[in-house]
Structure 1
Amino acid sequence: MATLNTLPSMKNDEDTKPEHPRLSNLDSSAESIEYPEGGLEAWLVIFGSFLALFATWGVINSYGVFHDYYSTVLLPNSSSSTISLIGALQLFFLYGFSPVVGRIFDLYGSRILLPLGSIITVISLMLLSLCQVNQTYQFFLADGLLFGIGATLVFTPAVAVAGHWFNKKRPLAIGVMATGSSVGGVVCPIILQRLIPKVGFGWAVRVMAFVVLGCLILSCVTIKTRLLPRSRLGLVDVGAAGAGVGVREAGGEGQKGAWRSGLVDLTGFKDPKFCLACAATFILFYVLFIPFFYIEAYAKYRQVDSTISQYVVAIMNGAAILRLSLCFLAVKYGTVNIIVPSILVSGILVLAVWLPSRGAVPIAVFGSLYAIFSGVFITLLPAWIGAMSTTERFGGRVGCVWFFAAVASLVGTPTAGAFVKDREHPGYNSLMLFTGVMFLGGSVILVIARILHSRRLWYKI
């Protein structure tokens, strides 16, 4: 998805206790860090993150187009579950490696992670353009494995770096950068849809790879790590907020001590709210991407005109830009207070709009509204974890949450493929019922977590 500091307006009394006794005399200095909360340099970092998410999530959000083209042209002998597993692997590696990547970012920043991830991401797309018909393993390696690994090296530090520059306005900053995934999800499908008939699949993907390359080069230039993590070399930020000046912790164990604390931070599981966040993440990510993967195929099944059905994924991602308005509300009313109703609305949309939809208009309306409300959970989840974490713990903890998302994404979309195994009589109704019920179950867990934060209805968290 790092060093996001605990939001003052969201902080509970139990979170004020130092997590390590040796840091007790340093916490006051760390908590007094001043954040720019804006300015040219800070917003340039957000712009770089916007481009990073455009390049990675733009491709991932286009998988509905890839899935349809794979099933009809490149992999006609493969089942829907097998083809869905390729996209699921992207998500699994993107989220599954986040605990380690987040911890590395906590220790070393983005200087190495971003360039390395950019190179791997572009190479994976170039290799995808060379994959041969019915050679399923080639698509798994290029589009699933390699792209997923490259994407997580870009995505995790791109999201986490917002915590170096924003505190109170963090949900808004993350919301702005997250619109990059939506814009990418509009542009990339259109690139594929328009270029494949003219120049073929290979060159269409290569053009997209060059677009991704340009975005990631700008990201590497503009994204900067501002705060020196406490866990690196036993240092703590007690100097000027923007200078990254630190002093060595008394008796610090240095870099080896930081690594002995583990590549994966499991301390968050002592907090019931964090455990519920992980449970909700697993349930929701199990079904969250199913509409994105299958709505285009469903539109064709309902005989929607091809001029509309082939752009339905782009329509969804275009509408998702409007979720930025919900991020504004999160700054004013609290992150969890916006997440809970958004997920509930998403489940209702699946059952009340997508399930009975038969024509172009209801399908497009569902896709647009679903993209707005369901994406709020992805966008605001890091800010929620930041409310339960101290600065040097955020990267590892958000990585743990993303790991649950990774496992759920890996098994969720192939499960959907099992519902749609018969192309002549696919079980879309069963798939929609399953998706809607899972959303409602996830919203129940979120309500319980919200109650644990506070039983006051208007409490800001």
Structure 2
Amino acid sequence: MNSKEEKHDSDSSTLREDNNALQTSPGVSSSEQLEPQDDAQPPPPPNGGFMAWLQVAGAWTIMFNVLGLLNSYGQFQSIYETDLLKNESASTIAWIGSAQFLVCYFVCIFTGPLLDTGYLRLLLGAGTIVTVFGLMMVSLCHSYYQFFLAQTILTGIGFGLIFLPASSVVSQWFSTRSPFAIGISVTGSSIGAVIYPIMLQHLTGRIGFPWTVRIMGFMVLGTMLFAAAVMRVRVGKNPQKRKVIDLGHFKDKLYVIACLSFFVNFLGLYVFYYFISLYATEVAGADRSLANYLLPILNAGSFFGRLIPNWLAGRYGLMNVQIIFGVISGALAFALLGIKTPGGVVAFAVIYGFVSAPYVSLPIPIVTSLSPDKSVWATRLGMSFAIIGLGALIGSPVAGAILGDSKNGNWTGLIVWCGVMFFTSTAILTTVRTMKVGFKLLVKV
């Protein structure tokens, strides 16, 4: 980092939510300096420096907890099916996890306007308390409705309060490096989705499910204290009231169609997260011990899928990279039709985790790139996350209905469903690109 960048970061880091003083600039009169700045036009982001990368570290810990736990639900599902909720059907139990996605993303509608008005600390504090309390309640549950209330509703609300700040704040501190910085922060989800399932698998047999979940709750508390201590917004609090759902944003055709693309993709994206272990045992003949590790293996593959595509997106264009990986993901989904061996399924899990990962990390910078008014970035992200949450809610139950009885299930139909969703989503995003720059291929967009 050169001295010029360090100085720029030092200046920018003073623009915090609790700072009412304005920076002085050469050639600006004192009377002008005393005038309040328009929060819709914040200074250019430092695009690096200690404070900027500290925001990435804070966001990383949030992603470690939120998406790490959300993507670990397959392991919860296994425990519930075989022990705690063994009298309930698999599809009924699956609603706990899929509905938790919806609750998390739906809450982002409300947290977006709050974040745009500067209430970062409030969101992080309240979200941490609600999340930890929800996990502690999960450790006390015995019946289905208790798990649904504690894990789906309560913990889902806590996730929603802290998830959007992690997605939005990083974008405020970077410009050209924003996709890569967001990619680094989202790798936290990959690490969390490896660690949490392994914890559940190994600790539950030794100390029991209740204390395993309590330990996870203490982990969330410790890491979230770090995030709350280091994260900062770059503009002061704005007392202007914001609409929770501003329908005016839906007049932006590019934004709406992009959200439709993400919605369609999430109809298929998480299906393999839920069913890959079952496919390995029922179709590929894998033993149960190997199948239990497929979800962590898939999430481990997504680690580099958050980094490399996001780095490429910064150089060659967000939509360009997303479209390419969308095509690859669709083709890979159809390739599973020919994979019938345990080794092949393991290889599929690693590669699928990598090529599908950009659909978690790239929508954030794509939405902000389609939103020229930086003062409403969080609001727009919150609305788009709610739309994505509907896709996550619907997709896996629909795939389960297509599959039917797993022992005589329609695995071809489930795989085709995923592949078609990837290709359809890619076609819709290609439409957005065409509307923005026309049919020019060699354009960074």
- Give the TM interval when normalised to the shorter protein: 0.7 to 0.9
- Is it true that 1:304 corresponds to 2:286 in the alignment? yes
> Structure 2: which amino acid aligns with 1:183?
I
Match in the other structure for 1:395: 378
- Is it true that 1:414 corresponds to 2:397 in the alignment? yes
Contact 2:171-2:182 at 8 Å conserved across structures = no
Matches within 5 A, 1:332-347: 332-347=315-330
Between 1:361-370 and 1:179-188, the stretch displaced more is 361-370
Give the TM-score of the pair, scaled to structure 1: 0.84
- Is it true that 1:369 corresponds to 2:361 in the alignment? no
Match in the other structure for 2:266: 285
Match in the other structure for 2:363: 381
- Is it true that 1:143 corresponds to 2:151 in the alignment? yes
Contact 1:125-1:142 at 8 Å conserved across structures = yes
Contact 1:54-1:184 at 8 Å conserved across structures = yes
Matches within 5 A, 1:154-233: 154-228=162-236, 232-233=238-239
Cα distance, 1:27 vs structure 2: 10
Contact 1:79-1:421 at 8 Å conserved across structures = no
Return the alpha-carbon distance in structure 2 between the equivalents of residues 445 and 423 of structure 1.
32
Determine which of 105, 111, 114 is the counterpart of 1:104.
114
RMSD: 1.8
Match in the other structure for 1:351: 334
Between 1:428-437 and 1:171-180, the stretch displaced more is 428-437
Cα distance, 1:118 vs structure 2: 0.8
> Structure 2: which amino acid aligns with 1:292?
Y
Cα distance, 1:29 vs structure 2: 9.3
Match in the other structure for 1:438: 421
Return the alpha-carbon distance in structure 2 between the equivalents of residues 181 and 83 of structure 1.
23
Match in the other structure for 2:253: 272
Return the alpha-carbon distance in structure 1 between the equivalents of residues 111 and 195 of structure 2.
28
Describe the SS at the equivalent of 1:171: helix
Matches within 5 A, 1:64-103: 64-103=74-113
Match in the other structure for 2:48: 38
Return the alpha-carbon distance in structure 2 between the equivalents of residues 319 and 423 of structure 1.
26
Contact 1:68-1:296 at 8 Å conserved across structures = no
Contact 1:84-1:417 at 8 Å conserved across structures = no
Cα distance, 1:28 vs structure 2: 9.9
Return the alpha-carbon distance in structure 2 between the equivalents of residues 29 and 287 of structure 1.
39
Cα distance, 1:363 vs structure 2: 1.1
1:430-452 C-alpha deviation (Å, 9 max, x unpaired): 21111111111111111111111
Instruction: Check 1:311–1:291 CA distance in 2 against 1; reply closer, same or farther (3 A cut).
Output: same
Return the alpha-carbon distance in structure 1 between the equivalents of residues 141 and 42 of structure 2.
53
Stretches of structure 1 that go unaligned for 5 or more consecutive residues are: 1-25, 234-254
Cα distance, 1:41 vs structure 2: 1.5
Contact 1:75-1:136 at 8 Å conserved across structures = yes
> Structure 2: which amino acid aligns with 1:58?
G
Contact 1:265-1:393 at 8 Å conserved across structures = no
Return the alpha-carbon distance in structure 1 between the equivalents of residues 213 and 122 of structure 2.
26
1:346-378 C-alpha deviation (Å, 9 max, x unpaired): 1111111x2222222211111111111212022
RCO comparison, higher one (Cα < 8 Å, 6+): 1
Describe the SS at the equivalent of 1:127: helix
> Structure 1: which amino acid aligns with 2:287?
D
Return the alpha-carbon distance in structure 2 between the equivalents of residues 358 and 409 of structure 1.
27
1:386-416 C-alpha deviation (Å, 9 max, x unpaired): 1111101211111121111111222222212
Cα distance, 1:30 vs structure 2: 5.6
Contact 2:171-2:365 at 8 Å conserved across structures = no
